[in-house]
Structure formats: C-alpha cells, structure tokens
Amino acid sequence: MRIETDRLVLRPWQESDRAPLASVLGDPEVRRFYPTVLTVEQAGAQFDYALARQAEVGFHFGAAELKATGQFVGLIGLGYIPDETRAAIRGNPAIEIGWQFDRSVWGQGLAPEGARALLAYGFGTLGLDEIVAFTFRGNLPSQRVMEKAGMTRDPAADFEHPRLELGHPLRPHVVYRIAR
C-alpha cells in the first residue's frame, strides 16, 4: 500500500520509523486523551505488532510522511477493531480508521487529508462497506478530523471503552461512521 495525497505519502512501516514513532507515542500532549504515554519499549512492541499485522492482513495503521521532505509525521490507517471493542459498538463494525500525528505538524489539516485518501482506498481498493472511527468523548480535535473526512457522528453508538476500568474518566467514547 502506498497512497499519495497533495502533501502526504501514506505507506507501510520501515525500520527508520521506529524512533520517530516512539517520540510521537511518548509525547504527553499527543497522548492526552489516552490512558498513558508509551515508553520506548512499548512503542517498539506496537511497531513490531504493526509490522506483523501488515504482513498477515495486508493493511494496518501505517506511516505518514511529508511528500516534500520525506519526514515521518505520524501514524494513520485502517485496522480491524479488536473483538472486545467491536462488541461494544452498535452494529459491531469491523474496520476503524485512526491517527496520531506529531505535535509539530498539527493544525495544517494533514490528518483529514490522509483520512479522506484512506477512506477512498478502503471503499475502492479494499471494497469495504463501512468504516468507523471512535474516540474519547472529550477528544474534540480528533472528532473534527472525523467530520472533515466526511464521517457522521452516530450518537446511538456511544459506548464505554471495554479496555478501561469502570469509572475511568476516558471511558466514554463516541462513534463516527461512513458507508461506501
């Protein structure tokens, strides 16, 4: 998979992404709507998992780089929703789209640009019927990306994230959907 947009190249992981990915996932500002930042070891494990998923199923959250410079700027992609989470979402959707970008490039519309291209790829090349996105109810920047990518909030699908313990402040999640 290699997708080009006006300003981005979306591509599979390569070994040189390991350190800049760890920097994104270790940034408390990037991770303010997640339960924790990731340590370098945890980010490395996530990187290895992504490589394995890429090889197994052909697609997974991948790397985004700036077309002009080749600089790694974040992760974005389509992925299978883990069963436990899928079961908690109305309609039990299979595929999600998600993103985490380096703070230095926020505010330029890069995430929605990448998301629009990935949705087109998902519906076109992969032949998917529906793609959802979900996030903590308070993560308004990410919800803006979902809206800008053409997705629509489904309030009836609000859910409590099953991977967080009861009462955790980040547990309430909202769902956005888009169909082919």
Ligand X SMILES: CC(C)(COP(=O)(O)OP(=O)(O)OC[C@H]1O[C@@H](n2cnc3c(N)ncnc32)[C@H](O)[C@@H]1OP(=O)(O)O)[C@@H](O)C(=O)NCCC(=O)NCCS
Which residue, 69 or 127, is less far from ligand X as judged by CB? 69
CA distance 126 to 175: 22
Q: What are phi and psi of 56, to 5 degrees?
A: -75, -50
**Least gap, CB of 99 to ligand X (angstroms):** 4
**Least gap, CB of 139 to ligand X (angstroms):** 5
Distances (CA, A) of 138 to 48, 105, 152: 30, 21, 17
Please name every residue paired with 8 in a beta bridge, in sequence order, or none if there are none.
66
Contact 101, 115 (CB under 8 A): no
Which residue, 72 or 101, is less far from ligand X as judged by CB? 101
**Least gap, CB of 148 to ligand X (angstroms):** 6
Which residue, 59 or 96, is less far from ligand X as judged by CB? 96
Which residue, 29 or 127, is less far from ligand X as judged by CB? 29
**Least gap, CB of 115 to ligand X (angstroms):** 9
